[in-house]
Amino acid sequence: MRDFPSCFGENGVQVADSSSSSTSKNAQNLVTCVYQCRIRGRPCLITVTWTKSLMGQRLSIEIDDSANQCLCKVDIKPWLFSKRKGSKSLEAYSCKIDVFWDLSSANFGSGPEPLEGFYICVVANKQMVLLLGDMRKEACKKTGANHIPSSAILVAKKEHVFGKRIFATKAQFCDNGRIHDLIIECDTLGVNDPCLIIRVDRKALMQVKRLRWKFRGNHTILVDGMPVEVFWDVHNWLFGTSPGGNAVFLFKTSVAAEEKLWFSQNIPSPSSLQWSFSQRFQDSKSLSPGFSLILYAWKNE
């Protein structure tokens, strides 16, 4: 797969390059999930990206080998004409791969991902490689694939969240684990001493005072008895030249000592730091077990 920031926007590494200067009006509402899967016994990564903008909504599915090299990709624009339901055949690992989707009855909230009433699946040689959505019976009937639970594991997720003081999303820190309500709370407007609070299921698990001095850092919290390392960079919120800038947060269930050392090093600029976040996030999908969640938190004007 191409470097992870390049998944966002039409112009390559647009998000990584513009994060420190763009406002929330220019930020895409998107969610990207990366799954570890197997096709014919060989490991691969399947990246599913949902995008919502003024131009409409878009779904992208990319299949990469274990070396992060793109094998095949399909872009779906189901909100235009009759593309809300269909399929496409691809080829990778010397076999036929079929991608099926049905979003004709999908229900959406404020985000780009559907909440219910849909399915997306990847099938190789009649074997279900990846199955998303709540219409599983309909997916198996349509594809004719063997009704065997796929071994796909969600290993990484990247999301843009928006707000003025509170930024909310949902997070599942381990495969088949509980889905938690994750809230980032920070008021930087007219506040002499801003404070950063992170809540999981309404419980405050982390609080950073004197934020102007601690605008970058890391801390370990416990979720379901499991350590989760939290990295943050709120420099743009506090010192950015453009209103409505974004902060970046990384939640990781497996953090090596060298990653902590990396974070403590002097980073020349916020944009470089956010690129390093994304690069380290990209590396984590193949180098270490666990789950990574990176959030770009955009302040609304």
Report the percentage of the chain scoring pLDDT > 70. 74
CA distance 205 to 195: 13
pLDDT beyond 70 at 14:
no
CB 144 within 8 A of CB 127: no
Q: Is the dihedral of CA 126, 151, 108, 11 positive or negative?
A: negative
Least confident stretch, 12-26, 150-164, 218-232, 286-300: 12-26
pLDDT at 269: 42
* Strand 70-76 to 56-65 pairing: antiparallel
Q: Which residues share a beta bridge with 43?
A: 38
pLDDT, the chain, mean: 79
Q: Which residues share a beta bridge with 167?
A: 184
pLDDT at 243: 60
pTM for this prediction = 0.80
One-letter identity of residue 198: I
Angle ∠(244,277,35) on CA atoms, nearest 5? 105
pLDDT beyond 80 at 1:
no
Q: What pLDDT digit, counting tens, does each position of 278-289 carry? A: 554 455 445 456
Dig out the tokens for 231 from the structure: 């990295």
Angle ∠(206,20,189) on CA atoms, nearest 5? 55
CA distance 108 to 176: 23
Q: What pLDDT digit, counting tens, does each position of 44-68 carry? A: 999 999 998 777 788 999 999 877 7
The DSSP symbol for 146 reads B
- Compute how many other C-beta atoms are within 10 angstroms of the C-beta atom of residue 83: 13
Dig out the tokens for 223 from the structure: 């979720």
Report the percentage of the chain scoring pLDDT > 90. 46
Mean pLDDT, to the nearest integer, of 237-250?
Answer: 82
CB 20 within 8 A of CB 26: no
pLDDT beyond 70 at 33:
yes
CA distance 169 to 167: 7
pLDDT at 68: 79
pLDDT at 161: 94
Please name the helix (run of DSSP H) or strand (run of DSSP E) that holds residue 3, with its range, or none: none
Q: Where are the domains of the chain?
A: 4-151, 161-299
Mean pLDDT, to the nearest integer, of 139-152?
Answer: 81
